[in-house]
Amino acid sequence: MTAPAEHEFTLDADSELRLDLLLARELGTSRTHAATLIANGNVHVGDKREKASYRPVAGDRIVVLLPAPQSREVLAESIPLSVVFEDEHVMVVDKPAGMVVHPAPGHWSGTLVNALKGRGGELAGENGEDRAGIVHRLDKETSGLLLVAKTDVALRQLGAALAARRVVRRYAALSWGHVTGDKLTVDKPIARDPRDRKRMAIVSTGRAAKTDFVRLARFESVDLLRAHLYTGRTHQIRVHLASVGHPVVGDDMYGGGGGRRLVELPQHRHFLHAAWLIFPHPVTGESVELRSPLPAELQRSLAAVADSEALLVHPDPLDDLGFYRLTT
């Protein structure tokens, strides 16, 4: 059994924050979790227990005993998956919107990893059971192509290819308003939002993040963009577009959730789809190129903003709009 971890720090100056808020910031967790630690006696200021409302002062030594995380078995579940490529080394799944990639608090079942285990067969295990086979992630409400490694060798090779930017990931995004010019590069560092740990934000001390955007079509109130990732930070495309004032359509977290009826987008769905994936095979080194047409709900939304019923029956409207033509 893993022993509890101890976190200790001393204040150089009086705190402007209550103890629970100070702990939340220090530990990178929620205020509720910090308050629970205090209430359960896991936090001492000096030799005393203090209330969550206590305001620490200069010289206070704060010791936090962090309980060891409880391990949970990741269950195999019979959940249908759309597999667009598979051999004995690697698999590419076309993930639907609404599916979480791996188990985490609040999502212990129904995830992509549960579904992968339900299929049987080998999965890379170096990432741990809860992330078995996962090479990279997609947000819950983002659909599209996702790499899965079936062996540890494949996992390491694909991870190295990602780090070396030899894995090409291009997304279709609908953004509110109109970006400046037909091409836009956003190169801004991203980290956890210090005011809300569930969100990401542009933070000067964050990790480097770069995204290229190309406008494929301009409609009355939205733009259709092709986004190319150079890095893979959490919520990167969503945060970068929000930072220039043009959030992803339907993105409730970053300011793009309004106007769903205008674009005929379902509740909780944002218009972001991982449509184009190119990667070097982890064993042969040969280039593998895969495409994923827009899901039906995004195709309906695009047809609505374009006022074109023809897009409803097209097998892949992104093709017609130049998504796969890099000269565009």
Q: How confident is the model at residue 144 (pLDDT cuts 50, 70, 90)?
A: very high
Helix (H) or strand (E) holding 301: helix 296-306
Are 323 and 275 in contact by the 8 Å Cβ rule? The answer is yes
**Residue 69 reports pLDDT greater than 70:** no
Per residue in 231-282, pLDDT tens? 999 999 999 999 999 999 999 999 999 988 899 999 989 999 999 999 999 9
Single out the residue of 250, 33, 14, 233 nearest to residue 23, CA to CA.
33
Q: Answer yes or no: do 152 and 186 share one domain.
A: no
Angstrom distance (rounded) from CA 127 to CA 170 = 25
List all residues 6 or more positions away from 2 whose beta carbon is below 8 Å from its beta carbon: 68, 69
Helix (H) or strand (E) holding 33: helix 31-39
The whole-number pLDDT of residue 164 equals: 92
Q: How confident is the model at residue 73 (pLDDT cuts 50, 70, 90)?
A: confident
Q: How confident is the model at residue 3 (pLDDT cuts 50, 70, 90)?
A: low
Number of structural domains in the chain: 3
Helix (H) or strand (E) holding 287: strand 287-291
**Residue 1 reports pLDDT greater than 50:** no
Q: Active-site residue among 20, 60, 94, 139?
A: 139
Per residue in 97-117, pLDDT tens? 999 999 877 778 899 999 999
Angstrom distance (rounded) from CA 99 to CA 110 = 7
Residue span of the structural domain in which 236 resides: 168-320
22-26, 30-34, 68-72 — which is least confidently predicted? 68-72
% of residues, the chain, pLDDT over 70: 97
- To the question of pTM greater than 0.95 for the whole model, the response is no
Q: Could you say which of 136, 163, 190 is where a domain stops?
A: 163
Find the CATH number of the domain harbouring 175.
3.30.2350.10
Angstrom distance (rounded) from CA 100 to CA 110 = 7
List all residues 6 or more positions away from 185 whose beta carbon is below 8 Å from its beta carbon: 210, 211, 212, 213
Q: Answer yes or no: do 306 and 180 share one domain.
A: yes
Tokens of 47: 């030799």
Q: Answer yes or no: do 175 and 314 share one domain.
A: yes
Q: Answer yes or no: do 87 and 60 share one domain.
A: no
Q: Answer yes or no: do 178 and 267 share one domain.
A: yes
Q: Answer yes or no: do 157 and 174 share one domain.
A: no
In this structure, is residue 150 part of a structural domain?
Answer: yes
Q: Answer yes or no: do 118 and 221 share one domain.
A: no
Find the CATH number of the domain harbouring 28.
3.10.290.10
139 is catalytic: yes
Q: Answer yes or no: do 299 and 210 share one domain.
A: yes
